[in-house]
């Protein structure tokens, strides 16, 4: 019996040790970055493509470049609060190194070595080119420092155990950057990069499984809004089959649909950002979205009477 107990204890220790190793937060060392001359114009493009202001701009103020955080994102797991990402040295990212910012964006690891919750859409940001991430960091440093820390998340147990996110990353974070399709034209590849990477469109327009990962077979097929209110639309050709590339590009510029209606809720905030992109980038995103094959999403519940 003693030997059996000892074996069980040793097996448990070995299992815990293996779990601890495989869930260790990954980082990008500064030595891996090399020389780089920042392009602030490109950084600004990444800022608007990524919709950074939608979550990180301090609420109730008109200047969307004041990134003091505080936006509350409700979910089945609790409420996530967007942090201050202004260049404030104490309350924001003013003291972050470039490598720490790249690590956060593509590995989902904080400067103090913790896993970020994937409400921060690093599963999409990992597709971004490192040069684009570095340009974004350089652009953010040109913005006004905003004092004040955002409140902490309020996440239910056991989802608040960050080490468990290492297991989540093993399932849903592959670390692969975007690779263009040589059989597609340059504008399609540009659109694919923007939509799959910085714009992280799939993060909202796809249903999630029980672990919070995107259901791959229903990617872009819409689903319930994570905050529990409303429905995020299917943007594959299942529902946009009659829309043209120009219709989609026009919506990204103005928020207007072919039916002369206007998008609302969170999509209105998205359009405030995509309207700042070049016409060529909006057209590229539209070309890629138009190419998404038709997919059935989860059944939508009947409207309450």
CA dist 234 to 139, 148, 237, 251, 300, Å?
Answer: 33, 38, 8, 15, 11
Gap between the terminal Cα atoms of the chain: 64
Contact 83, 112 (CB under 8 A): no
Q: What distance in Å separates the CA atoms of residue 4 and residue 239, rounded to the nearest whole number?
A: 60
At residue 214, the 3 state secondary structure works out as strand
Burial readout 202-234 (b: 16 or more C-beta within 10 A, e: otherwise): bbbbbbbeeebebeeebbbbbbbebeeeeebbb
The conformation of residue 75, written as its DSSP 8-state character, comes to: E
CA dist 101 to 3, 84, 96, 109, 130, Å?
Answer: 49, 13, 7, 9, 11
Q: pTM for the whole thing?
A: 0.90
On the CB side of 134, CA atoms within 13 Å amount to: 15
Q: Is the dihedral angle over the CA atoms 34, 38, 42, 48 positive or is it negative?
A: positive
What domains, with CATH codes, occur in the chain? 36-177 (no CATH), 183-305 (1.10.760)
- The closest alpha carbon to 23, from 162, 200, 181, 218, belongs to 162
The structure tokens listed for 63 are 């200047």
Q: What distance in Å separates the CA atoms of residue 121 and residue 204, rounded to the nearest whole number?
A: 10
Mean pLDDT for back-to-back runs of 10 residues, the chain (305 residues)? 67 62 84 94 97 90 90 89 96 96 97 94 96 98 94 89 90 93 96 97 93 93 80 92 94 89 83 95 97 91 66
The conformation of residue 132, written as its DSSP 8-state character, comes to: H
What radius of gyration do the chain's Cα atoms show? 21
Residue bearing tokens 């040109």: 142
The conformation of residue 223, written as its DSSP 8-state character, comes to: E
Determine the length of the chain: 305
pLDDT recorded at residue 118: 93
């Amino acid at each position: 019996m003693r030997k059996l107990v000892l074996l069980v204890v040793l097996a448990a220790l070995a299992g815990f040790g293996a779990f601890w190793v495989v869930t260790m937060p990954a980082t990008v060392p500064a030595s891996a970055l090399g020389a780089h001359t920042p392009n602030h114009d490109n950084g600004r493009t990444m800022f608007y493509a990524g919709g950074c202001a939608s979550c990180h701009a301090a609420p109730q103020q008109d200047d969307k470049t004041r990134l003091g955080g505080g936006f509350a994102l409700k979910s089945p797991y609790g409420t996530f609060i967007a942090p201050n990402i202004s260049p404030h040295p104490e309350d924001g990212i003013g003291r972050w190194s470039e490598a720490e910012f790249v690590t956060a964006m593509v590995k989902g690891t904080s400067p103090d070595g913790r896993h970020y919750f994937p409400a921060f859409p690093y599963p999409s940001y990992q597709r971004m080119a490192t040069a684009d991430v570095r340009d974004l960091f350089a652009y953010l440093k040109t913005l006004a420092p905003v004092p004040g820390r955002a409140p902490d998340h309020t996440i239910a147990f056991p989802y608040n155990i960050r080490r468990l996110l290492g297991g989540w990353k093993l399932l849903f974070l592959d670390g692969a950057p975007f690779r263009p399709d040589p059989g597609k034209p340059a504008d399609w590849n540009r659109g694919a990069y923007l939509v799959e990477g910085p714009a992280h469109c799939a993060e909202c327009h796809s249903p999630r499984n029980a672990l919070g990962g995107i259901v791959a077979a229903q990617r872009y097929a819409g689903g319930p809004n994570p905050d529990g209110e409303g429905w995020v639309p299917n943007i594959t050709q299942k529902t946009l089959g009659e829309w043209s590339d120009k219709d989609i590009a026009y919506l990204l510029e103005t928020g207007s649909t072919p039916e002369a209606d206007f998008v609302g809720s969170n999509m209105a905030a998205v359009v405030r950002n995509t309207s700042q992109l070049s016409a060529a980038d909006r057209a590229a995103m539209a070309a890629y979205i138009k190419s998404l094959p038709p997919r059935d999403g989860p059944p939508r519940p009947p409207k309450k009477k």
